[in-house]
Amino acid sequence: MAIILVIGAASEPILAQTLGNDPNPVYHHRLSQQHMAMTVLLGWGLTNLAAGSVLAAASPGYRDFGYMTAGWGLVNAGIAAFSLYSGPPFDPQTVTLAEYLRDEQLFNRILAINSGLNVAYIGVGAGMARWGSSSRIRQFGSAIILQGAFLMAFDAFLLYHSSARLGDALLFVDSIGYLDIGNRLHWSPALTMRLML
Query: So what's the pLDDT on residue 18?
Result: 43
Task: Say how far apart CA 165 and CA 108 lie, in whole Å.
Answer: 10
Q: What DSSP state is assigned to residue 23?
A: S
Share of the chain above pLDDT 90, in %: 54
With a CB cutoff of 8 Å and minimum separation 6, the contacts of 174 are none
Q: Are 147 and 129 contacting, i.e. CB atoms less than 8 angstroms apart?
A: no
Q: Are 186 and 166 contacting, i.e. CB atoms less than 8 angstroms apart?
A: no
In the chain, where the domains are located: 2-16+24-196
pLDDT digits (tens, 9 = 90+) for 145-187: 999 999 999 999 999 999 888 877 776 654 334 444 544 544 4
pLDDT digits (tens, 9 = 90+) for 44-103: 999 999 999 999 999 999 999 999 999 999 999 999 999 999 877 777 778 777 788 888
pLDDT digits (tens, 9 = 90+) for 108-130: 999 999 999 999 999 999 999 99
Query: So what's the pLDDT on residue 48?
Result: 98
Terminal C-alpha separation, the chain: 16
Q: Which of 6-10, 17-21, 129-133 has the highest mean pLDDT?
A: 129-133
Task: Say how far apart CA 161 and CA 165 lie, in whole Å.
Answer: 6
Mind spelling out the 3-state secondary structure of 5-58?
HHHHHHHHHHHHHHHCCCCHHHHHHHHHHHHHHHHHHHHHHHHHHHHHHHHHHH
Q: What DSSP state is assigned to residue 89?
A: S
